[in-house]
Amino acid sequence: MKTNPKITTTYIFLIIAGIILLFFANLFIGSVKIPFDAIIDILLGNGATKKSWEHIVLEVRFPQAVTALFTGAGIAVSGLLLQTAFRNPLADSSILGISAGASLGVAVVIMLFGGVIGNSVGFSFSASMTVVVGAFIGAGLILLIIMGFASIVRNNIMLLIIGIMVGYLTSSVISLLKYWSTSEQVFSYVMWGMGDFSGVSMQQLPFFCAIVTLGLIMSILLIKPLNALLLGERYAANLGVNIKQVRFLLLFCAGILTAVTTAYCGPISFIGLAVPHIARLVLGTTNHKSLLPMTILVGTFMALLCNLISVIPGSAGLIPLNAITPIFGAPVIIYVIVNQKKIQYFN
184, 111 contact by CB (below 8 A): no
φ, ψ at 301 (rounded to 5°): -60, -45
With respect to residue 257, please indicate whether it lies within any of the assigned structural domains: yes
Q: Is the pLDDT of residue 1 over 60?
A: no
Q: Is the model's pTM score more than 0.75?
A: yes
**Residue 158: what pLDDT?**
80
The total domain count for the chain is 1
In the structure, what pLDDT confidence band is assigned to residue 78 with cuts at 50, 70 and 90? very high
Q: What is the dihedral of CA 221, 223, 229, 231, to 10 degrees?
A: -150
Taking the C-alpha atoms of residue 277 and residue 296, their distance in angstroms, rounded to an integer, is: 12
**Residue 120: what pLDDT?**
39
Taking the C-alpha atoms of residue 124 and residue 122, their distance in angstroms, rounded to an integer, is: 7
Taking the C-alpha atoms of residue 121 and residue 310, their distance in angstroms, rounded to an integer, is: 22
Averaged over 19-26, what is the pLDDT? 95
With respect to residue 119, please indicate whether it lies within any of the assigned structural domains: yes
To the nearest whole number, what is the mean pLDDT of the chain? 83
With respect to residue 203, please indicate whether it lies within any of the assigned structural domains: yes
CATH number at residue 214: 1.10.3470.10
With respect to residue 120, please indicate whether it lies within any of the assigned structural domains: yes
With respect to residue 345, please indicate whether it lies within any of the assigned structural domains: no
With respect to residue 37, please indicate whether it lies within any of the assigned structural domains: yes
With respect to residue 347, please indicate whether it lies within any of the assigned structural domains: no
In the structure, what pLDDT confidence band is assigned to residue 278 with cuts at 50, 70 and 90? very high
Task: Domain of residue 299: give its range.
Answer: 5-338
Taking the C-alpha atoms of residue 95 and residue 101, their distance in angstroms, rounded to an integer, is: 11
With respect to residue 343, please indicate whether it lies within any of the assigned structural domains: no
